């Protein structure tokens, strides 16, 4: 069971059970869509669609329940994506704020250590000392 199968079922319903149109809308092949839906039905142990030969004719009663669950799942997937986007944007914003407040680091050290560790142009004399 996977999200691709759920999308295929949703798109088949949106396209009035026309798998060729569903496949075009999803930029995939019709046999792939058909196979994925059959595999989902097999895994669930119910027919989502009533068929006449290879053509989908209608949504079955269990299929209506499956479709409602798929809609809830896909809505929650969308919510998860939005959370991720918001968190990522929040992280970037927090980092931007952090870097915007970058300032001066003052460290007390002996003259010899400062000479080796801090480049000449970056050093400030201690208060009360001449440059």
Per-residue pLDDT tens for 6-32?
A: 999 999 999 999 999 999 999 999 999
The winner for highest mean pLDDT among 5-14, 87-96, 104-113, 121-130 is 5-14
Helix axes 3-14, 30-44, angle to 10 degrees: 110
Q: What percent of the chain has pLDDT over 90?
A: 59
- Whole-model pTM: value is 0.67
């Amino acid at each position: 069971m996977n999200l691709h199968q759920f999308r295929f079922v949703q798109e088949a319903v949106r396209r009035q059970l026309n798998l060729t149109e569903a496949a075009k809308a999803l930029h995939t092949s019709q046999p792939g869509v058909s196979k994925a839906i059959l595999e989902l039905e097999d895994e669930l142990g119910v027919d989502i669609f009533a068929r006449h030969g290879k053509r989908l004719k209608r949504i079955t009663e269990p299929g209506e329940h499956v479709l409602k669950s798929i809609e809830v799942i896909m809505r929650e997937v969308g919510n998860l994506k939005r959370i991720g986007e918001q968190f990522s944007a929040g992280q970037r914003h927090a980092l931007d704020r952090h870097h915007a407040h970058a300032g001066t680091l003052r460290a007390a050290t002996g003259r010899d250590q400062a000479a080796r560790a801090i480049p000449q142009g970056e050093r400030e004399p201690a208060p009360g000392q001449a440059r």
